Amino acid sequence: MGVLIHGELLSHDTDVVHGFSCLGPDGRPLDLGTGVPTGAWSWVARELSLPGASVARLHQVHGDAVASVDVGGDAGMADALWTDQPGLLLAVRVADCVPVVVAGDGRVGAIHAGWRGVAAGVVPAALAAMGGADRAVVGPCICVEHYEVGEEVVAGIAAAGVPEACFVDRERGPRPHVDLRAAVAWQLESNGVSRVEVLPHCTFSDPRLPSYRRDGPRSWRMAGLIGLKPR
């Protein structure tokens, strides 16, 4: 695993750069949580071949609000953001939740989708706000094997229209296990995204990735990033 994880689907895209942060320049985990030094974002921008690009980021609240941005920096309280401005990077930060990057015709978006966000409909809200997308990469997140939950989680996601058969595993123990990335992929495909790549990396089982469930409050944050290349 390098300093950034990339999906194959968008890696061959001539208009888009993307990645999911992992390791920093010193080979140790790169914490991109709140209060991270500006230099860390500059380093990530260089790694994505957009040196000097500013990064738009959010105060994430596990809801369905979507921000439209055309400059970097603080984009307010929301869980998804999109832009049609070349040379600008979008970032969402996670430590078990699902980072999703999407691209359409001259537009890109980044989505933070924990179970509450999936239940709130942040994925379809983001796609509607940006006028649709046709390709997406679902990034590293906690996998079904390690995501044992209460029935309220199942009920919340099912109430958003996701079929239980798509995301619930009741064979692993007395409590259900939920496959968040399967639920997100279903929402993407159900809202017109024709090409969806789901990355296999599990944040809980891979020590090179952050997991709140594994490490608690001391867990760091990785970022899902996407941007349009300058024309």
Note whether 178 and 168 are within 8 A (CB): yes
Q: Can you give the pLDDT of all 231 residues of the chain as single tens digits?
A: 458 999 999 998 999 999 999 887 777 888 898 777 778 899 999 999 999 999 999 999 999 999 999 999 999 999 999 999 999 999 999 999 999 999 999 999 999 999 999 999 999 999 999 999 999 999 999 999 999 999 999 999 999 999 999 999 999 889 999 999 999 999 999 999 999 999 999 999 998 899 999 999 999 999 999 999 998
pLDDT value for 38 = 75
Give the span between the Cα atoms of 117 and 98, in whole angstroms: 10
Note whether 210 and 217 are within 8 A (CB): no
Tell me the CA end-to-end span of the chain in Å, nearest whole number: 30
pLDDT value for 34 = 76
Which helix or strand (DSSP H or E) is residue 34 part of?
none
pLDDT value for 36 = 76
Give the span between the Cα atoms of 93 and 112, in whole angstroms: 7
3-state secondary structure (DSSP) of residue 37:
coil
Q: Give the orientation angle of helix 122-129 with respect to helix 180-190, to 10 degrees.
A: 30
**For the whole prediction, is pTM greater than 0.85?**
yes
pLDDT value for 210 = 95
Domains in the chain with CATH codes: 4-228 (3.60.140.10)
